[in-house]
Amino acid sequence: MKDLQKRVITGILGILLLILIFYLGINAIKISIFLLTLENVREIYNALHNKGIKLCLPVLFFGAIITFLCSFFDKNLIYSLVLFFIINSCLLVLLENYDISNYAYTSFTYFYAIFLLNLLGSIDDIYLIISAFVISFSTDTFAYFVGSTFGKHKLIERVSPNKSVEGAIGGTFFSLVITTIYFVILNRYNDIYSINAFVVLIIFLASISGQFGDLFASKIKRYTGIKDYAQVLPGHGGILDRFDSLIFISPFVFILYNFI
């Protein structure tokens, strides 16, 4: 089976699974995000291991659990962030082989692979959570099609040689259009989803941030010398290969949730 066929089949199955999760409700979404963060940790651990970096897995699993519990029971995620920092810092003092470099990489992994994605899980509004996926998928899809058709100027070649300036602009433009239409449709049923300058700005910034999330993940892959984070999604790679942009989009949707 060709790689493109694998990507299409995996994409279709992924969309069907997402629809099922959204249908099951908020708790199903939060549990799913928890499972994603566990896989994120595994993929980052394996990637950094190639550079001789040893993450402290027990404290990361602890961080994943407490962050999930805060999200699930609608508690402020700052509690989980503080608890993780304290426990991780105590282990730095207590464990002889846990040096400052591994401590720093473990802290980074928690914030990147666990905390940011749980910002999305802490949102008790399914339609806003869906908007994050709309922004992510529309940006990625149209950046690819516009870039492959009209791309002539490299975006940041040393990080991702296949991405173009034209693709980045096209991805953001079409994401803005599609997500705006999504909110206009929502507004017909609930006026809290009205489109205004602030909402448009958040969509715009989220789309750009999502593309930097993709580049950020590519930078880590280049640093660690890997092509994909894993092979759990045929044709796509790992969870981080597929949801890297969503991680950087989540904070903006979280901001929108708190100000809408």
Q: Identify the CA nearest to 55 among candidates 131, 120, 113, 137.
A: 113
Give the span between the Cα atoms of 88 and 109, in whole angstroms.
12
Type of residue at 191: D
pLDDT tens for 75-91 read 999 999 999 999 999 99
pLDDT for 4 beyond 70: no
Total domains in the chain come to 1
pLDDT tens for each residue of 155-211: 888 888 888 889 999 999 999 999 999 999 998 888 888 888 999 999 999 999 999
User: What confidence score (pLDDT) does residue 1 get?
Assistant: 52
First to last CA, the chain: 46
pLDDT tens for 110-134 read 999 999 999 999 999 999 999 999 9
Contact 155, 164 (CB under 8 A): yes
Question: Would you say 168 and 211 are in contact if contact means Cβ atoms under 8 Å apart?
Answer: yes
Which pLDDT does position 2 carry in this prediction?
61
Query: Does residue 72 contact residue 53 with C-beta atoms inside 8 Å?
Result: no
* Residue % of the chain over a pLDDT of 90: 65
Backbone angles phi, psi at 230, to 5 degrees: -165, -175
Domain that holds residue 161: 1-259
- Model confidence at 235, pLDDT cuts 50, 70, 90, reads low
Q: How far apart are CA 35 and CA 130, in angstroms?
A: 18
Flag whether the pTM goes above 0.95. Answer: no
pLDDT of residue 153: 81
pLDDT on residue 251:
95
- The pLDDT of residue 71 is above 70: yes
Distance CA 191, CA 183 (A): 10
